[in-house]
């Protein structure tokens, strides 16, 4: 098993054009269905958010009435309230990851790692709005990397996977070559170039089977449950998504290393929650434990 530092080096070496090829071969267009922003049954929406992303969302201007037509020119709103202009508490934006916490006599308690986007009473993301069946994000321009890159992920140890099962995947060049001998790899690559679709830049897209086993191997791009999969995506959009996907893989590993290095076991009391993130141990309000009595 490779160390987090080795995985981080692999993430930094990811080629954006190869990631874009994989995304383009799978295909994707957001249908605004809202499935990735809402809870399902008893399961609340759970999306990882980094500490600096929480602060960005605290300061972000949130559209209280989001425009469901992204191409339309936004109209100025002179009646925005303070919350819409970015005056939000940490707990308005993020909640502790629920894993490892328990409901005690004095309320939620225990230790956990990292943060999730806050949810409303229905278990949906607090930044999600829906009008006539069409979903929209009220903080779209400041949404976290996990939201910018859904429904895709890169299979690297130490990175998180979004909600929804992996339903499709494409192996990147390095992963395909690592699985075979040099001779067989060369033959497979040539076959893939002949059988793959031609990309817009004249090169061949990666060939793929109906469904590769995404959970068992590293070095592949995974596509998770989403009704927008399989739709045409422009090369520009694929490259923009690929760049964000690489950034997310790097950031997740940097965060994981910092969490590991800054971790000190805590002893939360009844009704107390301690969250260990890349900046150290914090209370449920996002304040470092050493500052909680100030």
Torsion angle defined by CA atoms of residues 235, 238, 243 and 246, in that order, rounded to the nearest 10 degrees? -140
Full-model pTM: 0.78
Residue 268 CB-density burial (10 A; 0-12 exposed, 13-18 middle, 19+ buried): middle
Cβ atoms 25, 205 nearer than 8 A: yes
For residues 167 and 169, give the distance between their C-alpha atoms in angstroms, rounded to a whole number.
Answer: 7
The residue extents of the domains of the chain are 4-291
At residue 247's C-alpha, the angle toward residues 36 and 263, to 5°, is: 90
Render each residue's pLDDT in the chain as its tens digit; 294 residues.
689 999 999 999 999 999 999 999 999 999 999 999 999 888 899 999 999 999 999 999 877 665 545 444 444 343 434 455 567 999 999 999 999 899 999 999 999 999 999 999 999 999 999 998 899 999 999 999 999 999 999 999 888 878 778 999 999 876 555 555 434 434 443 334 333 343 334 333 333 333 334 444 567 999 999 999 999 999 999 999 999 999 999 999 999 999 999 999 999 999 999 999 999 999 999 999 976 555
For residues 51 and 53, give the distance between their C-alpha atoms in angstroms, rounded to a whole number.
Answer: 5
Pairing label, strands 166-171, 94-96: unpaired
ω before 246 within 30° of 0 (cis)? no
Cβ atoms 217, 175 nearer than 8 A: yes
């Amino acid at each position: 098993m490779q160390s987090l530092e080795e995985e981080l080096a692999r993430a930094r070496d990811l080629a954006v054009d190869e990631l874009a090829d994989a995304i383009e071969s799978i295909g994707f267009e957001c249908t605004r269905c809202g499935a990735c922003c809402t809870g399902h049954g008893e399961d609340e929406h759970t999306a990882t958010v980094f500490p600096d992303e929480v602060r960005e969302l605290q300061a972000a201007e949130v559209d209280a009435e989001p425009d469901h037509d992204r191409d339309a020119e936004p109209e100025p709103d002179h009646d925005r309230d303070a919350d819409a202009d970015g005056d939000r508490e940490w707990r308005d934006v993020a909640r502790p990851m629920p894993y490892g916490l328990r409901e005690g006599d004095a309320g939620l308690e225990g230790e956990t790692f990292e943060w999730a986007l806050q949810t409303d009473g229905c278990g949906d993301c607090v930044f999600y709005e829906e009008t006539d069946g069409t979903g929209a994000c009220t903080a779209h321009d400041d949404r976290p990397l996990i939201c910018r890159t859904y429904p895709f992920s890169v299979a690297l140890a130490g990175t998180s996977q979004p909600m929804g099962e992996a339903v499709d995947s494409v192996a990147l060049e390095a992963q395909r070559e690592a699985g075979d001998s040099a001779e067989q790899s060369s033959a497979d690559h040539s076959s893939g170039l002949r059988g793959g679709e031609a990309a817009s830049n004249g090169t061949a897209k990666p060939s793929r089977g109906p469904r590769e086993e995404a959970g068992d191997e590293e070095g592949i791009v995974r596509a998770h449950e989403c009704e927008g999969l399989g739709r045409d995506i422009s090369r520009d959009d694929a490259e923009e998504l690929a760049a964000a996907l690489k950034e997310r893989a790097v950031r997740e590993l940097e965060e994981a290393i910092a969490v590991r290095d800054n971790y000190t076991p805590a002893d939360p009391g009844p009704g107390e929650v301690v969250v260990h993130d890349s900046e150290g141990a914090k209370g449920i309000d996002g304040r470092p434990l050493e500052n909680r009595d100030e």
